């Protein structure tokens, strides 16, 4: 990423076309890789691969390590004799709309995966997978969750809620089949993902993953490890939770509610849990984006009893010490939001590229660090992220004065970069901004598919701090991967030396 100009596309696995109600690791994933390869792209960026939980967010998972069984391709299981074609076609997953119905995934897909498991004969490879124990905690957690009607672990009967080892061991002995099923989902995912990754890498395409800084309270790790990893009391009640301070957009700040790490305790074993988490990610990805990277310098913690983030305070994170020995890992640090000298010092010391967002660039401020003419080095350029409104919507929502400033700044940047500007419509402006990203000094440019297609608010991936069936559910169709877009990408990449 640091040595050659290239470009990629941000497209969540969930958003791929498919006949299974959600994107999968099947045929359409391979088709997308072929499309990206044909236009000269070198990076496919996805969102976290963890199972989704309440709110369907991949950033609020029931496990920091487990993999999303919704992405398992059922057609591949049919080809392997574990499912019948009719079983897939008869399911409600055949809905091919532009939204993921997570309720159907929960009821229909898990039932079909269970059916496949009953026909799975295991074998030595699966037995060796089980012996490694990498997904034991997840499998036990999910089996217990099912036995308690999928409620949060805080609602379970006392011996299980409190992680009584004897009670948990007894449960495991009595529910071996259910636990093996959840192990099976991870085994199958890994096999399908590895084949896909090998296919991409053979075509010169790197897979870029994403992990959140924090993990959900209702997760296997918090349930099992509690105060060993997090700032919690002996009963695993959170003392403080994560959030963001008040700013010009939110007078009460943002109260995320995630448990925060006890960095002092983690320091005792040289941050082993976090280091291993990062290393495991590189079994799946060639490049890893770490969300909310500023939290490793300082993070905003809020008393757990508070209803807003207003009374929180800044606390020190592990800083660059955590990343010693990980210098060879190809990591991108999401350094957006409240950035101060501490974060800048951390970024310089770890040497990872940060991010520049063109949606933030054209505001009339000549010193705006997101303006391409102000770029220095060691960063990845985006038009927007999964949390931003689509670029077209952003442009359309600007009022008269804001739009005047935006257009003036955009035209000035295009003139400096030698980019032909077309602002005749919001769609044309989106293509212009994408072309400006390609022309920038950034070695790597990644454009979300919704911005390449100049889609509006209907294509937004996530509206932060909200829970809605519109979040994380948008999908694309085969027709979106069209010849006109391919021609734009090939032409622009060639003109800007990215092929």
Taking only the tens place, the pLDDT of each residue in 240-267 is 999 999 887 788 998 999 999 999 999 9
The predicted structure's pLDDT at residue 363: 95
Band of residue 3 on the pLDDT scale cut at 50, 70, 90: low
Q: Averaged over 368-379, what is the pLDDT?
A: 93
Q: Averaged over 92-96, what is the pLDDT?
A: 74
Asked if 206 contacts 6 with a C-beta cutoff of 8 angstroms, the reply is no
The predicted structure's pLDDT at residue 2: 59
The predicted structure's pLDDT at residue 128: 97
Task: Locate the DSSP E strands across 152-221.
Answer: 206-211
The predicted structure's pLDDT at residue 338: 82
The predicted structure's pLDDT at residue 92: 85
Which uninterrupted H or E stretch holds 370? none
φ, ψ for residue 57 (rounded to 5)?
-85, 130
Question: Which residues, at least 6 apart from 167, have a Cβ–Cβ distance to it below 8 Å?
Answer: 159, 160
pTM, entire model: 0.96
472 pLDDT exceeds 60? yes
Residue 102 φ/ψ region, left for φ over 0, alpha for ψ in the -120 to 50 degree band, beta for the rest: alpha
The predicted structure's pLDDT at residue 276: 94
The predicted structure's pLDDT at residue 305: 95
95 pLDDT exceeds 70? no
> Which residues does the annotation mark as catalytic?
291, 334, 387
423 pLDDT exceeds 70? yes
Q: Return the closest-CA partner of residue 464 out of 386, 383, 391.
A: 386
The predicted structure's pLDDT at residue 377: 80
**Can you tell me whether residue 429 is helix, strand or coil?**
helix
The predicted structure's pLDDT at residue 248: 74
* 124-161 residue pLDDT tens: 999 999 999 999 999 999 999 999 999 999 999 999 99
Angle between helices 176-202 and 165-174 (to 10 degrees): 80
Q: Averaged over 102-113, what is the pLDDT?
A: 95
**DSSP letter string over 350-406?**
H---EEEEGGGT-SS-TT-TTSGGG--SSEEEES--TTSPPHHHHHHH--HHHHHHH
The predicted structure's pLDDT at residue 151: 96
CA atoms within 13 A on the CB side of 448: 30
Residues paired with 290 in a beta bridge:
211, 333
The predicted structure's pLDDT at residue 235: 85
* 160-180 residue pLDDT tens: 999 999 999 999 999 999 999
Q: How far apart are CA 323 and CA 157, in angstroms?
A: 39
* 25-52 residue pLDDT tens: 999 999 999 999 999 999 999 999 999 9
196 pLDDT exceeds 80? yes
The predicted structure's pLDDT at residue 93: 86
CA angle at 276 for the pair 270 and 277, rounded to the nearest 5°: 120
The predicted structure's pLDDT at residue 346: 96
441 pLDDT exceeds 70? yes
The predicted structure's pLDDT at residue 96: 61
* 198-228 residue pLDDT tens: 999 999 999 999 999 999 999 999 999 999 9
């Amino acid at each position: 990423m640091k040595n050659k100009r290239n470009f990629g596309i941000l497209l969540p696995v969930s958003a791929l076309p498919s006949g299974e109600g959600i994107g999968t690791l099947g045929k359409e994933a391979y088709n997308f890789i072929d499309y990206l390869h044909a236009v000269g792209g070198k990076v496919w960026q996805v969102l976290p691969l963890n199972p989704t939980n309440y709110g369907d967010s991949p950033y609020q998972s029931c496990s920091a390590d487990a993999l999303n069984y919704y992405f398992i391709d059922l057609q591949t299981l049919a080809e392997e004799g574990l499912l019948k074609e009719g079983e897939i076609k008869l399911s409600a997953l055949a809905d091919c709309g532009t939204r993921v119905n997570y309720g159907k995934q929960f009821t229909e897909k898990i039932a079909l995966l269970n059916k496949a498991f009953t026909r799975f004969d295991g074998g030595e490879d699966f037995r060796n997978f089980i012996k490694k124990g990498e997904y034991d905690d997840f499998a036990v957690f999910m089996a217990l969750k099912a036995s308690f009607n999928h409620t949060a672990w805080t609602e379970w009967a006392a011996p299980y809620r409190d992680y009584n080892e004897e009670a948990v061991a007894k449960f495991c002995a009595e529910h071996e089949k259910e636990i093996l099923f959840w192990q099976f989902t991870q085994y199958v995912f890994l096999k399908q993902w590895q084949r896909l990754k090998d296919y991409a890498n053979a075509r010169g395409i790197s897979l870029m993953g994403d992990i959140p800084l924090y993990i959900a309270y209702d997760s296997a790790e918090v349930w099992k490890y509690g105060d060993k990893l997090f700032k919690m009391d002996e009963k695993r009640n959170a003392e403080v939770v994560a959030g963001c301070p008040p700013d010009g957009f939110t007078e009460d700040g943002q109260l995320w509610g995630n448990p925060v790490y006890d960095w002092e305790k983690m320091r005792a074993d040289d941050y082993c849990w976090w280091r291993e988490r990062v290393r495991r990610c590189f079994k799946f990805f060639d490049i890893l984006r770490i969300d909310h990277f500023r939290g490793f310098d300082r993070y905003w913690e809020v008393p757990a009893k508070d209803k807003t983030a207003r009374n929180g305070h800044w606390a020190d994170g592990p800083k660059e010490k955590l990343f010693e020995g990980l210098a060879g890992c190809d990591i991108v640090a999401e350094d957006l939001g409240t950035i101060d000298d501490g974060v800048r010092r951390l970024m310089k010391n770890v040497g990872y590229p940060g991010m520049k967002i063109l949606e933030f660039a054209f505001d009339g401020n000549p010193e705006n660090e997101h303006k391409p003419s102000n770029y220095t080095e060691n960063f990845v350029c985006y038009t927007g992220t999964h949390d931003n409104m689509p670029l077209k919507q952003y442009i359309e929502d600007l009022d008269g004065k804001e739009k005047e400033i935006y257009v003036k700044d955009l035209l000035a940047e295009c003139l400096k970069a030698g980019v032909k500007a077309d602002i005749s419509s919001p769609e044309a402006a989106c293509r212009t901004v994408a072309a400006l990203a390609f022309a920038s000094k950034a070695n790597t440019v990644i454009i979300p598919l919704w911005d390449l297609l100049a889609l509006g608010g209907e294509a937004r991936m996530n509206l932060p701090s909200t829970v809605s069936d519109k979040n994380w559910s948008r999908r694309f169709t085969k027709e979106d991967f069209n010849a006109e877009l391919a021609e734009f990408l090939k032409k622009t990449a060639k003109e800007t030396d990215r092929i």
